[in-house]
Chain A
């Protein structure tokens, strides 16, 4: 397995695992409070839609000229990667609430109970919420599978990594019979953000006509470089937030300063 394929596998596996944890919470909530068969029907329907998206767009993408494909894929991965990194940094700095699976589970279960009594047959509410939850959480992963896989003509490998992550999350969730609250979601999202940004930058620049010194080996410098830069930005953001809080506390009044993160 080449370095790029290893990067593909790790990125897709982590991205899929973290989104699967969030989808599992939603499915568990409606399954336990409403109807397991209807909730699982929603999961199956969403999985079919996601697979269809990957297969249909995958075959269209791999038919594009390689440079155009790399610019498109690189640009999209870079935009996604920077979004994932930004949100992970804001969460680590305390500026954005971290995902709390137990809280989400309680809220979803409460909403499911409040939705009213279900009939004897198929439960539309459980189906819809499961379908929507899995589809929305899975769409971004499907896109990552597509872009990473199409660029290296390894959509099947990307799909296998995603499938493995889903199976692992389902197995752990079934064993725990509860939301997976201890998964370090933010750290995983940070890692995915670093990988997407690094590979996106690498492929985007190549597609635009630039040649990296050392070719593929330059990824050995790009990935740690982006990681260190992201860690430095996260550290600066945390420091700025702490400074802001220290200034605001003694005054006991709303702080008028701006933060220079």
Chain B
């Protein structure tokens, strides 16, 4: 049971990373696209502003967190581990 939990935690960490709101935003934008397309309305326009908005919000959040870390003198949460 513990190994399954660890595996799921690793998969979550690998896919979602340290930015769950962005992953959730992608899921919501795709669901909205599907809903609109299902109603036989052009739905391609949903994703471009959603993606740009999610990126801008993600950078803004990370910028604020980084400044908080610097002010409090703690280590950056962004510099841990491997990956991009």
Known: A82-B22, A140-B84. A209 touches B63 (CB 8 A): no
Chain A interface main SS type: helix
Known: A97-B79, A233-B59. A83 touches B19 (CB 8 A): yes
Contact between chains at A225 and B43 (CB < 8 Å):
no
Contact between chains at A86 and B59 (CB < 8 Å):
yes
| Closest A residue to B76 using CB positions | A96
A14 to chain B, nearest CB (A): 12
Contact between chains at A89 and B59 (CB < 8 Å):
yes
Contact between chains at A78 and B26 (CB < 8 Å):
yes
B34 to chain A, nearest CB (A): 4
Binary contact readout A92-113 vs B (1 if CB under 8 angstroms, 0 otherwise)? 0101110000000000000000
| A-B contact number at CB 8 A | 142
Q: Identify which of residues 222-241 in chain A touch chain B, using a CB-to-CB cut-off of 8 Å.
A: 222, 225-226, 229-230, 233, 236-237, 240-241
Known: A79-B15, A233-B56. A240 touches B63 (CB 8 A): yes
B-side contacts of A139, CB under 8 Å: 14
B37 to chain A, nearest CB (A): 3
Contact between chains at A201 and B48 (CB < 8 Å):
yes
A143 to chain B, nearest CB (A): 8
B-side contacts of A75, CB under 8 Å: 26-27, 30
Q: Given A90, A137, A258, which contacts B62 in the complex, CB threshold below 8 Å?
A: A90
Contact between chains at A205 and B58 (CB < 8 Å):
no
Contact between chains at A197 and B51 (CB < 8 Å):
yes
B-side contacts of A84, CB under 8 Å: 84
Complex: A138 Cα to B37 Cα, angstroms: 36
| Closest B residue to A260 using CB positions | B60
Q: Given A22, A78, A87, A210, which contacts B44 in the complex, CB threshold below 8 Å?
A: A210
3 closest Cβ contacts across the A-B interface?
A: A209-B37, A208-B34, A210-B43
Binding site for B on A (CB under 8 A): 22, 71, 74-76, 78-80, 82-90, 93, 95-97, 133, 136-137, 139-140, 143, 189, 192-193, 197, 201, 204-205, 207-213, 218, 222, 225-226, 229-230, 233, 236-237, 240-241, 244, 254-255, 258-261
